[in-house]
Every structure is written in C-alpha cells, then in structure tokens.
Structure 1
Amino acid sequence: MAGTKSRSSAKAGSPLLGKYELGGLLGRGTFAKVYRARCLTGGDPVAVKVLDKPGLAAPGMAARVLREVSAMRRLRHPNVLRLHEVLATRSKVYLVMELAPGGDLLSRLASLPARRLPEHAARRVFLQLVSALIYSHARGVFHRDVKPQNVLLDADGNLKVSDFGLAALPDSLRDDGRLHTACGTPAFAAPEVLRRKAYDGAKADAWSCGVILFVLLAGHLPFDDANIADMCRKAHRREYAVPRWVSQPARRLVSRLLDPNPDTRLAVAELASHPWFKRSLSVDSQLGGLLGGQAERELAFQAPPALNAFDIISMSPGLDLSGLFGESRRTREKRFMTTASPEQTVERLGQAGARLGYFIVGKKGAERLPLGGLSGLVAMSMEMSEVSPALMLVELRLEGGDGDEAEAFGWEELRVELGDVVAAWHVCEEG
C-alpha cells in the first residue's frame, strides 16, 4: 500500500507494534487522527484511529473513548463499523477498525449534482441505517449522534454506522429509565434533547433518522438555523417544507419521524410496518445493489452472527481499554465455551444463582440477562455467540458496583455450580 510512514507508529519507519503498517491519513479530529493501514499477517486493509494519551486527559475524553469501545464491542452487524482491536503504547492508544473506503454519506451526497438521491436509492440507504439502529437499540446502545458524517460507506456502497463516542449504554439510564445528557449535533438532535429534558434514547435516534431521510430526499436540512433556540422553535412548529418530488408515503414517514412529541413519534423499531418500506427495493447503481424482498425481513432483529477465530481473538483482553484508566477487567468479566444449548445454559445459570444467592430477572432467552446479587449493588450481563453449530461462546460481565464488590463475586463457585455446562472456562480468561 502506498503512503508515507506515520510518525504515530511505535518507532518511525517500523510497523505499528509489529502488527500493522500505517499508510495515508484519512481524517483528523481534535484529539485523534485516522490512518489507512495494512495488517502485516494477512494483508487486509484496516483503519487505525490514533489518540494521544495527553489528549485523553481533557474533560470527558477518556470516558468517551471507553464508551465508544464498549458500544462497538457489543455490536456485530453488517451495517455497523467493526472494531477489531485496541492497542496502546506509553503515549498513544490505537483503535483498529474496519476500513470504509467510500467515505462518509455527507461527502457522497455533496458529490451528486442534486445533492440528494432518487427515492428508490434513498430507501435502500435508509433501510440499512434503520437495520443497524434496530439492532443497536436491541443491544442497549443508543447512538445519540446519528448524522451523515457518522455514516460511512464500504467499497460496495453499503452503510457502516460509526463514531459511538456519544452513545448511551444501559448503565447510562437513570432510575426513571431515561437519559439526561444533552449531546449530539444540533441540526440532527431531537427537540427534547436540545431543551435538556429527560428523553428516550431510541426516540431521539428516531428523530435523527427523520432528519437524515429528509436530507436524502430533499438535498438540504429541514431545520437549519445558526440560532439553536430558533431552530428548536421551528422543529416544534414543524416549520419545514417537503419538496414536491417526494412521494406521499415518504412525506408521511418524514412527518411521523419529525414529530416533536416523542410519545407519538414513530419508533425506529416500528419502521418495518410503514407502507414506504413495504415497496420492493430497487437496485441503486450509484450506491450498489441490494437483493429485493420484504422490508420486514431486512429490518427484522438480527441475532449475532456465528463467530470465527478472528472474532474470538478480537474479543480478547486486547480490546479492553479499562487498564489504561486504572480499572482492572480481571474481576469483572469471564468467558467460557459450552456445548449446551442457550436454553440449557440459561436454566443452569438460574439454578446456580438460586444456590449462590442471586437470581435471574428478565425474560428467559433475552440477550442480556441482569442477575441480582451482592445486595443489589452489582448486576451481571450475559451474551452468547455461536462459534459453530455445536459450540457457543458465553460472556459474563459484572455491571456497576466498585472494585471490592467485583472482587467479592464468587467466579470459581459459579464455575463449579455450572458443572459440565462449562466446556472450557480458562480459554477466555485473562492472564
């Protein structure tokens, strides 16, 4: 791959930590630069986000990086940018991610003569965005900064939602089950977020989807004002005009998404039943093809795909940034392999909890199973992924509580209680 050696490498003129060869600069932000790179072992192209550790000392930056890594570790979806690995030196942190060589959606729209897409192409783009967000929301991740700049395109023109630095995770919710942090980009943020009210993360992302859909169809923003208060007033009054070339079903969908009342706003998960999505999808030559079929099938919740060897490696402690900020993962997270079915694993975990003093709260078979215990100060999440038809990878993680509470949790007792359900506990531990 052509390109000048980056000064961000561990040593000028040498591969990054012996694993990647950095190439040309793809972009830069206040505290980070993104480079094209090549994996030295397989030659696969990747993108490497380089962050200076002194920059992470800025207020909120370390938390933002940890949040981005935590969110991306939860998500394995064809329309979500994949995080492969996290590396660090004494002065820098490197996030190794999937490469999206097509650039961002905003740049792609700006390159078009009308700065917008034909409706059939807009439907295809929007379908992929919605599919990614339905999946993310089902995994407890709310993006909170959905905008064209954060939607990337791969070599085939498929969407990749990126930049989860402002994402909200389940532990961001307060006792009222809502979010309270005002964040995001004003032109794409929901009115309740701009007004600093408590809000539903899924409904806030739905508003942002409405703005993106309007941009895809019209070629400009529905609300565009340098004065945020004025822009918020326009949003509340629905002061926007849909161009005449937009079809009636698309107009109705925009109206349902750009509803200033979050209680009546269409949720992302409800989009599959909208008439605009029930039409057959056409092939868009500018952004690549998509096989036809019912929109409900494309929008259906997608279970985590089967893992390959690289997936398992990418879930190793190399992806854990907590040690960079003074927190150990050793007492927080364990993984094991099992040949038992998901139903058997959940049942055995419940039986073990009954004997060890915690209990399962939540629907059987759910992807995240909070476990009560330790006086309610700590909860546990569980995620299962298929390695092969006969083998599952189970990840257990303590959520909340302090270090002493995590230390007090009886991992070894749990392993003994699970018995033959655990095929290989030691494989996935640290150390």
Structure 2
Amino acid sequence: MTNKSTLDDYTILEKIGSGLTAKVKVVRDSESGEVYAAKIYRSKSCEASSRNIIRTADNEIANLQQISHPNVIKLICSNKSGEYVKKSGERYSCAYIVMEFCPNGNFYETIRNIGRFNENISRFYFHQLINAIDAAHQRHIVHRDLKLENLLLDGDYNLKVTDFGFSASVFDKDGSRMLRTHLGTEGYMAPELYMNINYYGESVDVFAAGVILFIFRSVNPPFSRANMSDRIYEILVKNPKKFWGLYSRNKPQNYYSEEFKSLIMGMLHPNPERRFTIYDIKNHPWYNGPIASLEEVQSIFRRNA
C-alpha cells in the first residue's frame, strides 16, 4: 500500500480528464519535481481493441514530435510499456505520453464561466489557434478534432492545441490529398464529413476553427451539425441574412461586424473548394484588426477568478 499511485518515475497527483481511449492525469516527476500532464491509454481485454489503442498512441506521438510551436502542446516523453502502480499495490502495463501541464483548464470551461469574448480578445486567441493549425499543416499534419475541449490555457493564459489522437497526414494511403476516414466531434465537423465523401483535411480544420471563432463571440455554437437536416445550418446556407438576424437578437446593435460575418461565412462555406484557406484567413480584414495584449487578456481572468 502507498499513499499515491505511480506511473514509472511519476507520482500521480489527480485526474483531470477522461475519454474513450485514454485518461489524463496530473503527474509529478519524482526526480525533478516538475509537474506535467500524462495521457494514459486504456488497456482493453480485447486484443484487437488494444492494438487500435496502441496505434492511436503511436499516431499521436509521431505527429506531435513533428510539430514545434508555442501554441501546440509540448510532448515531453512517451512509453508504450509503462508500469502503473495503484495505491493498493496492483500493477498493470500501459502506454502513455507525458506533456506540458496547462493549469488553467480548457476553453469549454472558460467560455462557460466567463462568457463571450470581445472582438480584440477573440482575435488574440484566434491568431494563436490559426498559427497552431498553420504550423501543423506546414508539417503536412491535420488535427481533425478541433473543439473547445481540445484548446487548453497554459499558466500565462496562452492557447495550446492538444489531443492529436485523430490527427493524420494530409496525404491518404494512395498519395492523394483526399482523406477517407470520417471522424471528429458533432457540431465541429464539416458538411462533407456527414456526406461520407472524401475530403481535404486542411479544409476540415478550417471549418472547425470557424465554429470555434463563432463560439468565442457568441458563447453558443452556430448550429448543432453541419447538415441540411439541421434547421439553423440550413438557414446559414440558404439565407445568411436571416441567420445573422437570429443570432443578433438580444445583442447590441452591430454586435457582429460585417468583417466578422464575412470571415465566418468564408470559413463555414459548405463547399470545401470555396471555403477559406489559412492564407485567406490571415489576409482577411477582420483577422488583421485590433488585437488585445496578453496583459489585457490576463486581466479578464483575474477579474473572474
């Protein structure tokens, strides 16, 4: 019996997240005392499921190793045959990755607690998000599961993109840039994913980033799913003026600037061939408008602490 569970040379401090394939825990390096986040992949009794989980871990590790950017979570180390020792003394083998720890939670929690951001703060975080996506795309890697829960806040309240479990090369197995595996999180998935057709990974990431930006300014998402069976999404596609009218209710006049609307419509375009690229986004007037300083951003968190 011990006071704390351990993961190899790390002491388990607390659990901070859990998903289908892994759980995330705060750990302390027993030698250096540094605190990190450990993503521990679940063991399955089914051999085929265990192999799939190991493949997911391998994929996340390989892709994170290729990306070095201040707004992408930093990979510290990994082990496919680590030993987890419970407080009871029970031991089991597991795969895990150790990453930098972001103590200020994720953007889902932040938006829920603080509410919508003004335009300048939205730009601050949107710049960080787009720069992180751009860094991944330049390494020919697409995330494919961008959402508020996968955007973390570090100790200084900078954005960090995490969870590259669904990430992939922009090139499919046949060498084309059209991907075939349909996955992601409903509400952030581009319409082509619901249509079960091949798709461009970069364009799917842009669509999800457009949803995220809309939530920054609105709190709520623009629609439930990007499918014509969703009434709000259908209005967005067929009658954008009515869409913006619906979301402008109970908000100050001209709350959504024309430049903001233009950017959102370009990023959420139903046709991926006409959807904005990262280049289009970075050259858009709204993107290049006034941006909050880090000190201004930090002040909103201090006020809401």
Task: Please give the TM-score of this superposition, normalised by the length of structure 1.
Answer: 0.59
Match of 1:151 in 2: 151
Residue type at the aligned position of 2:71: N
Residue type at the aligned position of 2:205: D
Match of 2:166 in 1: 166
Distance (whole Å) between structure 1 residues aligned to residue 142 and residue 239 of structure 2: 24
Match of 1:98 in 2: 100
Distance 1:269 1:43, change over 3 A: farther
Match of 2:13 in 1: 23
Match of 1:67 in 2: 59
What does the per-residue CA deviation read over 1:226-282, in whole Å, with 9 as the maximum and x for residues that have no partner? x96613655644663353412221111111111111111111233221111222322
Match of 1:345 in 2: none
Please tell me whether the aligned partners of residues 186 and 224 of structure 2 are also in contact (alpha carbons under 8 angstroms). Answer: no
Distance (whole Å) between structure 2 residues aligned to residue 120 and residue 281 of structure 1: 4
Larger relative contact order, structure 1 or 2 (CA cutoff 8 Å, min sep 6): 2
| CA apart distance, 1:198 | 1.1
Residue type at the aligned position of 1:46: Y
Please tell me whether the aligned partners of residues 147 and 188 of structure 1 are also in contact (alpha carbons under 8 angstroms). Answer: yes
Residue type at the aligned position of 2:31: T
Distance (whole Å) between structure 2 residues aligned to residue 138 and residue 25 of structure 1: 33
List alignment gaps of at least 5 residues for structure 1: 10-15, 290-431
**Equivalence map 1:220-259=2 (5 Å):** 220-224=220-224, 230-231=229-230, 233=234, 236-237=237-238, 240-241=243-244, 242-243=247-248, 244-259=254-269
Distance 1:188 1:238, change over 3 A: farther
Please tell me whether the aligned partners of residues 186 and 194 of structure 1 are also in contact (alpha carbons under 8 angstroms). Answer: no
SS in 2 for 1:224: coil
Q: Which has the larger radius of gyration?
A: 1
Distance (whole Å) between structure 2 residues aligned to residue 194 and residue 235 of structure 1: 17
1:37 pairs with 2:35: no
Q: Percent identity between the aligned chains?
A: 29
| CA apart distance, 1:173 | 4.8
**Equivalence map 1:43-192=2 (5 Å):** 43-54=33-44, 57-58=48-49, 60-87=52-79, 88-89=81-82, 91-112=93-114, 115-170=115-170, 172-192=172-192
SS in 1 for 2:40: strand
Match of 2:303 in 1: none
What is the number of equivalent residue pairs in this alignment? 274
Distance (whole Å) between structure 1 residues aligned to residue 48 and residue 93 of structure 2: 12
Residue type at the aligned position of 1:196: N
**RMSD, matched Cα:** 2.3
Residue type at the aligned position of 2:74: R
| CA apart distance, 1:40 | 2.5
Distance (whole Å) between structure 1 residues aligned to residue 193 and residue 29 of structure 2: 41
Distance (whole Å) between structure 1 residues aligned to residue 162 and residue 104 of structure 2: 13
Match of 2:274 in 1: 264
Distance (whole Å) between structure 2 residues aligned to residue 285 and residue 211 of structure 1: 26
What does the per-residue CA deviation read over 1:59-102, in whole Å, with 9 as the maximum and x for residues that have no partner? 74332222111111111110001111112236211211110111
**Equivalence map 1:276-291=2 (5 Å):** 276-283=286-293, 287-288=297-298
SS in 2 for 1:50: strand
List alignment gaps of at least 5 residues for structure 2: 83-91, 249-253, 300-305
SS in 2 for 1:91: strand
